[in-house]
Structure 1
Amino acid sequence: MTGKIIFLAFFTILLGEVQAQKSLKFDGVNDEVQISGYRGITGRGARTIEAWVKFSSNATNDQIVVWGTNSTGQKWTIRLDGSNGNALRAEINGGNIIGSTNLKDSKWHHVAVVWSNDGSPNISDAKLYVDGVREIIAKSNSRSLNTGNGAIVKLGNGFASNQSFEGQMDEVRIWSAALTEARLRDWMCKEVISSHPDYSNLQGYWKMDTLAGTTLKDYKGSRNGSIRNGASWQNDGGPIGTASIHRYSSSAAISLKHLDGDSAVVSGWTGKPEGVHLYRRDARPNHSGLPSLSKSIDSSRHYGVFVVKGSSPTYKLDYYYSPNKHYVKYGACSNYLLSRADNSVKTWSMTTASNTAGTFSLSSQKPGEYLIGYGTGGVIITAPNNKDTSAICSGDSIQLSNSTTGFTYQWLRNGSPISGATQGTLTTADSGLYNLIIVGGSCSDTSNTLTLLTKNNPVVTLSGYSAVCASEFSIPFAGGSPSGGTYTSPYASGNIFVIKSAGPGFHKITYEYVDQFGCRDTASQQLEVLNLPQVSLAPKLPVCLDSSSHNLTGGMPTGGIYSINGTTSVSFDATSLGSGKHWIKYTYTDSNNCASSDSNEAEVLALPNVVLSLIKNSFCEYDKDWTLDGQNPSGGVYNGNGVNGFDFSPTKAGAGSHEISYTVTDNITGCKNAAKDTIVVTARPAKPAITQVGDSLKVTPAFDHRWFTLVGGVPGATSSSIRPAEEGEYYARVQNKEGCWSLNSDTIFYKPTGVNELNSDVEVTIYPNPSSGILQFRSFNPKMYQFRVVSIEGKEVLNGSIKNDEEIDLNSIKNGIYFVHFTDKNNGIKSLRLILHK
């Protein structure tokens, strides 16, 4: 190793000092900077205001720079507009102009507002820039501009109490000239110095880089600011360098060269950025935390890349560092390119840059900063585990490497050069102590020592698996020895084998065990997943709810088990199951104890809902046929004694109680159901007999009675006896409690007890009565009788004599009611009422 390493150790001590890359943080409540005595650009003077800002996530309408008089057209304010996309806004009280880029993204942005008087001074003439790109104006409210001098310049606060700045601010510049777009781009990423073409128009320049105190220094003149209410210094800021170069609307490479001759080149853009700035800061970085391999850094300079918009843009960085005088003086063979995302990052990171012939190269880079790191311990060789001792297993090899390229290399094993090992990497399978010597010009380094051990592989076994049925979901992996290894299979999920995914067949399961040295061995077994038996169940036709219970059939192969709705069963009982759909499952288990099943849906059909409530259900045996009614639904069939179709015949049914059924068949399902009702047919009461007792006529007692003469019913005569008002022939009929009437009794001739009637042994009768013209006479005595036919008016219309079995011809008299009086030789009288109807 050369003597350069001694100097690096000394340089590490000097890194305690830090410079530049600072900013001022405002709390969004009342923090502000007042530029005492300075009232900004007033009237209608041309102006440009620049600043680097990084808004917090809570920012809304935060003020950046404010001065003037809070009257129409006389205020000058630059702020964030939280109501219009968090864009840049310039306003003058009564007029404004608003950009379109969202600034509240937690990133640093360069903002600028440029205005000049074109003869009709109006705020709408202002030009807004974000990161060097002129803004598309989203909204504008025209107003004549004439800035007043009522208030001094403030940073971070303004006239409104709720518009304080929350975030970080850096590099504020106020110019009394309208800077061009090119001028803004040329100087936005580097500090302003006197060579700036518009330097004479620079009114105030506040770098915000002192990191202490309550005075904000003006680097142009004496317009120092007063930091008020706790605005705090921050040890990071915008991407500002000592020198910079940019490219907009072009993908061409850009290069920035130091006076020493070293240079950085940015090229190979992707993501179509709108602009790119490459800057270099000729000072120590604000933060210098280093990765372990780097012991010191190039404190004289570092480079940075700032990108404007684009879609995840990347680039290639090449740093030609050989002419760098700091490197020439302090660098060693083991140099590294370090990077950080921005200057707020406190610790630099090691990059994967190639290092060839004094050039670091990196591809696919995002915006960031870069510097050289020096390694004081010589070149470092590493194994994949990044440790000084590494183990490999029998039969394996390992690659040793270092981070340099472009040198001359020689690998050593156990202190002796390895023949032919002259590359930057070495692949070996031998144990031993390894070193690497690198040579580049007058620089020579010997690496650290890396110990390589060779270990025997473990002996691994895996027990066999018993066959499993394809119906199982999974089984746990087991049987691997030594324990603690890993099972693999295309059908593994964690520590289980998923049978459902694998399916029937033989499946390989591998068990791998890795010991503490990383040595491994594997063992495998085949797991057989058995096919399930092919099971089928024939469909079952729908059955009616009243169908009889029957054994379940149709499952193949035979010998399985049936279940209905999850309950094992051998028969199908529709009545117990109830109407609706039911699942029949047939499960068959084969000789491997693997089971499979098939299922069908069987339907029990509901019976039609039938109602029978007969409108009339009580009859007498002599009633006419009756049409049955009271059924629902229609379309059914009646059955029962005396039933013919829909008619019921009491006479055919006969006396008694008769069950009548009404059956309906569902036209769709064919299921039948019946409803029943009862008809009671009551027999006709027995024909009554009439007797005369004194002046009364009596009939067989019953529930109800009716009395009649030959001319009609006797009014009010409803009891079992009556006392007639006149002599004549009478008959009666009786009714039982069911409302059925008897046949008419025989007629009886009623004669009051004061009249001498014929003896009973000379009783006479006439028939038929009523008569159609010929009247038969019958006597139980063969003697001759005299007869007289008298009208109801008392006029005799016919007379004569007659004896037993002779006829009286009535055709000569007209229809009507007559009395026929019979007398015998003893003057006995028998009077009978006669109805003549021819």
Structure 2
Amino acid sequence: MSGWGGDINADNLGGSTRGLPVTADAAQRTTDGSDFYLAEFLPGMVGLDYATYFGEAGGRGEHVDGGTSRFDKRGIVYQAVCGGCGGTQGFPVPPGANTYTSRNGSANCNNAAFKMDFQPEVADAGPRRALCASAAPVALDGTPAGGVWSGPGVQRTASGSYQLVPSAAGPGAFVLTYKVTTTGICQATLRVRYQVAPATVPAFAAVGPRCVSSPAVVLVGTPAGGIFSGPGVTGNTFSPQVAGAGTHTLTYTVADSLACGAATQQVVVSSPVQVLVSPDTTLCADQLRPFQLRANPAGGTWSGTGVSPGGLFTPPNTQNRGGAFELTYTVAQGVCQTTATRRVILAPANLSDVPLNLPVCAATPQYAGLAPFDCPMTPLLAGGTYSWDFGDGSPFSTEAAPTHRYA
């Protein structure tokens, strides 16, 4: 409805616009009695959906001679008004409204035209969706709110809202309907397509335990086209280095119109341990007595010439020619293996006899090396590792230059 009243129509009883009801969202809630009045009613005219005044505050008052109101079937009012009468400039121009000009160029009334949009609100049932049959209920939301949903699997909750229960709908393609009252007596019926896919258990090829230093692994899932996720996962590859040490859960998810489901597996990523072995050793080539190698942590395995897995090294008989032997110690931590090496060098033995530094008894030269006496031992080469065997059954010495007493 569109109409006017005011002082120019004072000869007609009730010609003022004062006292007419307006809604809270009115463009203009007050009147000087000489304005236009526009209203839209609820179905059956049981109430106002929207009502507003429109016109200048003061002045001679807006009016029209008749026949200049046009009502578009879409809900738009086009109104031509005698406005700004007396050359005033107060005809309202709401912020953001487009205008040919906002000034009255006439000394008397000018044609003030405006458009009031009462178009029905457009309803929206939302986008089409694909769901798994095993998925939780999905809330159904439409705009404007307050409509009614219907279709396979649609249920109304205790609060009055609607939801789609995929398990109740079952696998297949369904059309759900949303019906809602928009503007006035207008009703909109919108339909949206929902696809419910049957549940499946995808196959996820085993990755197996890994070391943090292992290269990235290409992940393989069946059926193809799913999404991999989890620590260290980028696209369809798993990086043990990015994931770090620990137990990680990787997931392969398939969700399309044909089937949906997820498969998981746990991947253990281990860190290598630090391995320490004793320093390199130099022996004389004629020293063939076995000795035990030491390393940390314990529990690893030795390998190489002359060494047992437990680390007992028996110098090979090189016929006094000597040689260098590289021995390897390996420790496993999960699938990680760490190795360290130690060298044993057998130096060719000096077969020349070295006279002992024995005391000389001038009075009895026929006796030499009388006991007890102290014999200093001096190595021919410095900087090695030493093991002195004094030949009398006494304990070995590892000093560089010991002095041994013979009794």
Larger Rg: 1 or 2?
Answer: 1
The structure whose RCO (Cα within 8 Å, separation 6+) is larger is 2
Does the TM-score normalized on the shorter chain lie above 0.5? Answer: no
Give TM-score, length-normalised by structure 1: 0.24
Choose between structure 1 and 2: higher strand proportion: 1
